[in-house]
Structure 1
């Protein structure tokens, strides 16, 4: 079986299309956690503010690292090259696939660049005075990843993503039917591959939110690799 680069552009652009709404799906439940009663109330309240500041700073640092990683020219070039390689491996729709990559990949990176870490963390309720135990950057990353994974495993969320992808095909003149055919063929595979990638917790290692071992999961490029139906 020869692994091939999946049509990730269709997936990420569908999510980017409704990015503002998607971010609201990942709101953390950290605010329900309580500070230990080891100290008296006055001391605990003071420490809570300090600890919350640490969590907020960690969230902003983690988000900034993720944005910086996707903002690097080398990273963007590698992603686009992998997507173009996939298009060249397709039996049909090679030109249409390449056009989708060329059109939507820059838009995706521009959308990522507009994210403000401070605003993002506030929307996740990680930068207020709510009481919770401050995890380190690795814990924050894994918590957020788990929230995203839980949403991706929801059939309703999967259906919504596919619907958004199909809407994108309406703007591709003369290739609407072919675009939809690509989504129906590769959409479920890419969703499954994304879930597997998040389950292996490779994302937190790639953006250096977690130090130490890279774990036994797949390499970062594996996110972009899905087998063609003919290989399975």
Structure 2
């Protein structure tokens, strides 16, 4: 359903974390094996939890949720005859979003994406600066959103989510199939134009000058 994109914004951050590890595990020149694996891994685990907490707090902000809902309402206006029903679904799911985000536990999430493993011989990434990691994650998210296979997987996930809305399951799936691609494009633009890392305080404002232009926020009142 259209409103599932709200949950998707959090989901892509998770995808970014997961794909970042997978991608880096294939780049041997950018990895080291630490002589103090447990200590270093605990440090990286903490970075993951801090970053996830900041992301969740960012999505919890009233202004952020208001902007997301406003964008989804604009998509609903494209539906013409189904416009009002779409708006009702968005408004319904906006309240569910807050409840779902509140349930997310950073430690459990980081365990799931294997950022808190303690096995010996785990390959660790050299740079554990949260700002650098955040920008690499955003870069991976943009890559995922531009990948047709990843787009298909996201659409399939949204369709499965429609099954949770018993009374509107059919309408939900129809909206996902018709407008899912549009929403993915909008999500890509969001991460391309918004300096998420500064917004969630993974980067300090004075570091923006050192970040490539592709990561800087684009003014778009």
TM-score (norm 2): 0.70
- Give 1:64's aligned residue: 53
When Rg is computed on C-alpha atoms for both structures, the one with the higher figure is: 1
Q: Aligned pair in 2 of structure 1 residues 73, 25: CA closer, same or farther (>3 Å)?
A: same
Give the equivalent residue in structure 2 for 1:160. 153
In 2, Cα distance between the equivalents of 1:155 and 1:89? 24
**What is the rounded CA distance, in whole Å, between the counterparts of 2:98 and 2:72 in structure 1?**
14
Which 10-residue stretch deviates more, 188-197 or 212-221? 212-221
Q: For residue 92 of structure 1, give the secondary structure of its aligned residue in structure 2.
A: helix
Residues matched between the structures, number: 203
Write out per-residue CA displacement over residues 33-71 of structure 1, whole angstroms, 9 at most, x where no aligned residue: 115xxxxxxxx624x544433322221111111111212
Instruction: Output the CA distance in 1 between the equivalents of 2:140 and 2:160.
Output: 25
> Which residue matches 1:142?
135
Tell me the alpha carbon deviations over residues 179-212 of structure 1, each in whole angstroms, 9 at most, x when there is no partner: 4554344221221222233345622222121223
Name the CA distance, whole Å, in 1 between partners of 2:198 and 2:139. 15
Q: Within 2, Cα distance between the matches of 1:82 and 1:61? A: 28
Which SS does the other structure have where 2:35 is aligned? helix
2:106 counterpart residue number: 117
CA–CA distance in structure 2, aligned partners of residues 131 and 163 of structure 1 = 32
SS at structure 2 position matched to 1:34: strand
The answer to whether residue 5 in structure 2 is matched with residue 11 in structure 1 is yes
Q: Which residue of 2 aligns with 1:173?
A: 167
Q: Distance in 1 between matches of 2:130 and 2:8?
A: 28
Report the CA distance shift for 1:220/1:160 in structure 2 as closer, same or farther (over 3 A). farther
Question: Aligned-residue CA RMSD in angstroms?
Answer: 3.7
The answer (yes or no) to whether the contact 2:145–2:188 under 8 Å persists in 1 is yes
CA distance in 2, matches of 1:109, 1:72: 10
1:34 corresponds to:
32
Relative to 1, partners in 2 of residues 1:192 and 1:89: Cα closer, same or farther, differing over 3 Å? Answer: closer
Q: Is the 8 A contact 1:55 1:136 kept in 2?
A: no
Change (3 A) 1:217 1:72: closer
Distance (whole Å) between structure 2 residues aligned to residue 122 and residue 26 of structure 1:
15
CA pair 92-168 structure 1, distance change in 2 beyond 3 A = farther
Q: TM-score, normalised by structure 1?
A: 0.67
Unaligned residue ranges in structure 1 (runs of 5+): 1-6, 36-43, 222-232
The answer to which structure has the higher helix fraction is 2
